[in-house]
Amino acid sequence: GNSVTQMEGPVTLSEEAFLTINCTYTATGYPSLFWYVQYPGEGLQLLLKATKADDKGSNKGFEATYRKETTSFHLEKGSVQVSDSAVYFCARTNSGYALNFGKGTSLLVTP
């Protein structure tokens, strides 16, 4: 199927720590890959995306590289802030309109 698997949380980090949230996808077709962020009580916001192998998506200090050889799209940030506390969702699409999401990874950054 067209599934996405991401690491379970919650992830708790101290401010300025390095963040990695793992995401792997099933190698079906040529998907586009996304990371969405959901702040408490809000809807999902697109964080970054990549549409083909070796593309790197980046935004607000977050990065993820589309790795076809490992079917991965891990999210990284070099120095997290308290304001980054949220739930992060990895997602893919083949069809162009139906996104398949992972279960989400909750991140808590403490001062």
Residues forming the site for another protein (CB under 8 A): 4, 30, 32, 34, 36, 41-46, 49, 51, 89, 91, 93, 96-104
Q: Which is nearer to another protein, 21 or 102 (CB)?
A: 102
Q: Minimum distance from CB of 51 to another protein (Å)? A: 4
Q: Minimum distance from CB of 12 to another protein (Å)? A: 18
> Exposed, middle or buried by CB within 10 Å (0-12, 13-18, 19+), for 16?
exposed
Q: Which is nearer to another protein, 17 or 87 (CB)?
A: 87
Residue 82 phi/psi, 5-degree rounding, is -55, -35
Q: How many helices (H) and strands (E) does the chain have?
A: 0, 12
Start-to-end CA distance of the chain, whole Å, equals: 40
Q: Which is nearer to another protein, 34 or 62 (CB)?
A: 34
